[in-house]
Structure formats: structure tokens, C-alpha cells
Amino acid sequence: GEVEFARIMMLVDQNATGIVSFQSFIDFMTRETADTDTAEQVVASFRILAADKPYILVDELRRELPPEQAEYCIMRMPPYKGPGAPPGALDYTAFSTALYGESDL
Amino acid sequence: MNSSYSVSLAGPAPWGFRLQGGKDFCLPLTISRLTEGGKAVKAGMNTGDIILSINGISSEGMNHLEAQNKIKACTGNLSLTLKR
């Protein structure tokens, strides 16, 4: 659940650049989940934070992630363009696949 | 000897290919996978082909998210030039 996720995030090395912290988080997540597509696992992790919605909100990121990771995500995630999404909704799927440099189009 | 070619895929998405690479990965934008029976396969695209331009815009210097967004923003036909 969310508490577990936050706990895991705290275990990751905090670095000055935040970008490396996020990478450490990714490494941690991929170590935990062998034999699966790594971009998929990142997407699944965000889906948990987003309570199963296809988009995530700025407030949710700030609430669930340590400040550097939250701001990194907020800065880098593209806006979610699907139907019914509120303004400010962010596309974590596009972000995650771009992180791995692989997107299914 | 590299040969380049162009395709025009009829919209809407999905286009049936996986895009890999970009400036942020120090890799050219390439087709890393094709969906069997998808539009990309039917247009004659191959795995390993490098994307040179998207809808007339050169892909040089594009990072992965930019290329992904340009392709996703396309609601009509998607024009690509590629080389293999």
C-alpha cells in the first residue's frame, strides 16, 4: 500500500541531484521485481500511488513521495490527455516509458 | 549502404511499434519491436529501422519524450521517414 511505498522510498539513498535518487528508486524497484518489463513496473508503482487512476495529481505526488522525487516527477511528467481528466492531471505512463527510452505507440 | 524510405500510416493510433532511444539515451530513435499485423508492419517497417523524421520534422536532437509526444499528438496520418 501507500505506507509501504513511502517506506521503500525512504530507504533509497538521497542524493543532491534528485535525478540520481530517482534512479536508485528505479533500481530498487527493478531488483524487487525480476522477469518483468521494468517500465511496466514503474507504471504499476505509480498506479498504486494514483489509486488506480490512469493519471496522477500534483497533490498526490507531493503527498506520497519525498520532496525531491515529487518535484522531479511534477517537472517531467507530461499532462494527461485522456477523457475526463481534471486540469493538472499528469501522465505517469508516458513518463515511465520515456524513462526507459521505450514507448509502445 | 543505408537506404531511407517513407511511410504514411493511416490514423488513429495505435501504430503498432515500439519506439526506443532518443538524445537523452545517446541512442538514435529506432523501432525496437513491431506488433504483428499492426499498421507499422503492414507499411513495411522493420525492427532496427532508424526514424529520421516525424511528420516532416527531423528527429535529430529529439529526446525520447519529445519524439513520443510528437507521435502521440498525431490524430490523422502519421508520416515517418526511416532508414535501415
Residue A16 confidence (pLDDT): 42
Chain A positions touching B24 (Cβ under 8 A) are: 101
List residues of chain A with CB under 8 Å from any CB of chain B: 76, 78, 81, 94-95, 97-98, 101-105
Of A42, A53, A36, A19, residue with least CA distance to A94 = A42
Of A60, A105, A67, residue with least CA distance to A86 = A60
Structure confidence by residue, pLDDT tens digits, A43-68 = 888 998 899 999 999 999 998 888 88
| SS3 (DSSP) at A69 | helix
Residue B41, pLDDT above cutoff 70: yes
Q: How far is A4 from chain B (nearest CA, A)?
A: 30
Q: Report yes or no: B11 at the A interface, CB cutoff 8 Å.
A: no
Report which residue type is found at B81: T
Residue A1, pLDDT above cutoff 70: no
Q: What's the average model confidence in pLDDT over A70-95?
A: 90
- Give the pTM: 0.67
B/e letters for B28-59, b = 16+ CB within 10 Å, e = fewer, are bbbbbebeeebbbeebebeeebbbbbbeeeeb
Helix or strand run (H / E) with residue A64 = helix A58-64
Q: What's the average model confidence in pLDDT over B38-52?
A: 96
Which residue has better confidence, B67 or A30?
B67
Of B25, B6, B39, residue with least CA distance to A102 = B25
Asked if residue A43 lies in contact with residue A87, where contact means CB atoms within 8 angstroms, the answer is no
ipTM reported for the complex, 2 dp: 0.88
Contact A104 B18 (CB under 8 A): yes
Q: Which of A67-76, B15-24, B52-61 has the lowest mean pLDDT?
A: A67-76
Q: How far is A14 from chain B (nearest CA, A)?
A: 23
Residue B30, pLDDT above cutoff 80: yes
Beta bridge partners of B81: B6, B53
Quickly state the pLDDT bin for A6 (edges 50, 70, 90): low
